[in-house]
Structure 1
């Protein structure tokens, strides 16, 4: 198993990113319980909300992010579900900095350990981008534990748009202009709040993103997904071809619903009502 403990450009940068994240958690308006789960892959930070007797939802954020991205969603989900927002290992949250390779089912095994320690036998899993890739792998290898699967702007179904990645890499060298250009590519016309923009700026300045390409799931793997699946993607996603993703899922997954959002890029927001309806079906 590969271990990488250099996911920040400096020790001071790590402190700045995590201090900002934890300041957001202090203002978390939804009542929650914090867990540090010890796994083979390192400690994993989890925020739990909602009544323990309610059906379970697990939230997995994207790359270069953490569970703060779910703040508004958790407020809605926790009214009807027992919600677990998980900081993915190797990302800029409060979990271990370990980054195993994206093969040999390391990430699904990691998530399975987390759920076992939390005594969760079955859950609906909602993942965004990298988190959706992890959710998909989990549903492939642990179908009996996956009740519903919600994939938002998911990786792993179609090839990454390498020209976009190259453009972002080059543009990042151009200071504030580059920062604004990158955000325009990723967020589109979304109005980003000040706090989120500050965090994005800190991450881009101090965090080293993953460079390993996420493997594509084979048709056989996708056919192994037994649960109902909802895919939501933006029509102008700069990283993945949403139309091709929807077509491949329709071809390989037995029970899938696809939603392609017009005038929407890689970042998808305000879908909690739709997602809850799907999970409750």
Structure 2
């Protein structure tokens, strides 16, 4: 297991966590924050919702943390038992470990979490990197996943090379590059002031992963048995959503795919669509 320093300075880490805590103050529904020990180190979890309801794990994207689920968790918690999980090696409160994406490191991590929480079967919502981890678990433990929701997910198509080159270029060009990178990621969306402030802290103090996420084989995708929902933007700067949807439809049974017009990598206002999908086949709802 590779252990690296993921922050440029200790002060930078403190500022990012402090801002994360300020964002979590907007998590208005009843909840608790706690840690569990896993093979990847301490994992930070935010739990909300009725324990008698079906369980959902929320997995954020890279360079982010569970604050991205604040609005979604409020809605989902009304009918589901929600666990928002900070992924190790990202800018949340979990350990700084960054294991290899091979050897089932992340599916074993999710297994450890579900075992610790006493959850036999779960649904997963994953965004980008979180989508890759959710798929990895669904592939390696198909009987443990009820519903799988993939948002702008990695792992289905190769990342666009021009985007990688553009990120490298903009990282060397100060505030102009920072603004251009935000435009690339957010597309036509107006960038929220809090999101902009957090992105500024990330650029200044956080060291992101540099390697591309592996693309799952056709055989691996065919192992997914969960009812699956894919949502992607037609203008996603990192992944080709049309190609991803086409490939998923070919190899994953029982899947719905939505490619959103005039939408980039950042997806907003999808909670209603996700909730409708999750409620399907739940007799108690």
Please give the residue correspondences for 1:137-216 in structure 2 after superposition, counting only pairs within 5 Å: 137-216=136-215
Deviation per CA, 1:10-31: give whole Å up to 9, x if none.
1111111111111212332121
Shift of 1:251: 0.6
Aligned counterpart, 1:111: 110
Measured in 2, the distance between the counterparts of 1:278 and 1:12 equals: 42
Deviation per CA, 1:184-218: give whole Å up to 9, x if none.
00001112221111011101111111112211101
Shift of 1:4: 2.2
Q: Give 3-state SS (helix, strand or coil) of 2:35's partner.
A: strand
**Aligned-pair Cα RMSD in Å:** 0.9
Measured in 2, the distance between the counterparts of 1:200 and 1:32 equals: 26
Aligned counterpart, 2:127: 128
Q: Give 3-state SS (helix, strand or coil) of 1:248's partner.
A: helix
Measured in 2, the distance between the counterparts of 1:173 and 1:211 equals: 15
CA contact (8 A) 2:3 2:97 kept: yes
Please give the residue correspondences for 1:4-43 in structure 2 after superposition, counting only pairs within 5 Å: 4-43=3-42
Deviates more, 1:11-20 or 1:43-52: 11-20
Deviation per CA, 1:26-50: give whole Å up to 9, x if none.
3321211112011111000000011
Measured in 1, the distance between the counterparts of 2:43 and 2:163 equals: 31
TM-score by length of 2: 0.96
Q: Give 3-state SS (helix, strand or coil) of 1:196's partner.
A: helix
1:241 maps to 2:261: no
Q: Give 3-state SS (helix, strand or coil) of 1:127's partner.
A: strand
Aligned counterpart, 2:97: 98
Measured in 1, the distance between the counterparts of 2:26 and 2:170 equals: 33
TM-score by length of 1: 0.98
Measured in 2, the distance between the counterparts of 1:191 and 1:123 equals: 34
* Runs of 4+ deviating beyond 6 Å: none
Deviation per CA, 1:239-264: give whole Å up to 9, x if none.
00110000100111011110000010
Shift of 1:268: 0.5
Aligned counterpart, 1:263: 262
Which runs of 5 or more residues in structure 2 are unaligned? Answer: 281-285
